[in-house]
Amino acid sequence: MIRIPQVRVIDDEGNQLGVMPTPRALEMAQERGLDLVEVAPMAAPPVARFLDFGQYKYELTKREKEAKRRQRSVTFKEVRLSPKIGTGDFDTKVHRAVEFLEDGDRIKVTVRFRGRELSHPELGRLLLERFAELVKEHGIIERTPVLEGKSMFIVLASTHKPKVAEAPQRPARPEGAPALAPAAAAEAAAPAAAAEAAAPAPAASVATATPAPTATTPTTPIPTKPKPTNGAEAPQTASTSGD
């Protein structure tokens, strides 16, 4: 809500309507079906414009996302050397440093001394100066060689602008194929699933199907125990109750 009593008004076509009371500017915006948006609150008087506020917020958010996608933070890389490094390894380190500098990164080139190597720090200084000379087309020295403890290092800043990471592109849709959003595709698939669920069951599972006549199988008589011929009853199990 705009609490300033007077504002400088710009209409939706960019024409200046002059300074007027805020209620009058709000009334004019409502007549056009638009919102009164304060676009320059620090001006004297503040500047307000007739806008569709929902569309304005959408475009503002879109621009912020695009700016975030294009910006790239500069990282700090480190390349480690030794006073007795071989020619091949040295060239590999130089090539890797050039790649970092071309990406816009800063580099810390460090020479580590071991044992008696620390008694000849000039070897590390010459190695760092040689390294900086080979990459001078891509980076400049921010900090001269400094000996700290058992290591000596320099810092190189890139002369290139940071590269922008390109967003991956989606594969092209074939010509003539309808474009469906994921939500629309789900809605289109829902009626088909409902129709499939409501379809009648196959005839084999219908409960009212006429039963087929079944063949009768002869029953086998169950054999019975023969009774004793002497008229005595069958022996019974003795009780274990103690009587």
Question: What's the pLDDT tens digit per position in 119-175?
Answer: 888 889 999 999 999 998 888 888 888 888 889 999 998 887 766 555 445 555 555
pTM: 0.41
Q: Which residue has the higher pLDDT, 100 or 74?
A: 100
In this predicted structure, what is the pLDDT of residue 110? Answer: 92
- For residues 65-80, give the mean pLDDT: 76
In residues, how long is the chain? 243
In this predicted structure, what is the pLDDT of residue 213? Answer: 47
Within the chain, strands assigned E span 6-10, 16-21, 35-40, 47-51, 76-81, 106-112, 139-148, 151-158
Residue that the structure tokens 């403890």 belong to: 149
**Cβ atoms of 53 and 62 closer than 8 Å:** no
Q: Which residue has the higher pLDDT, 170 or 102?
A: 102
- For residues 103-121, give the mean pLDDT: 88
pLDDT band at residue 92 using 50, 70 and 90 as cut-offs:
very high
Token pair in block for residue 237: 């199990």
pLDDT band at residue 224 using 50, 70 and 90 as cut-offs:
low
pLDDT digits (tens, 9 = 90+) for 161-197: 766 555 445 555 555 545 444 444 445 554 554 445 4
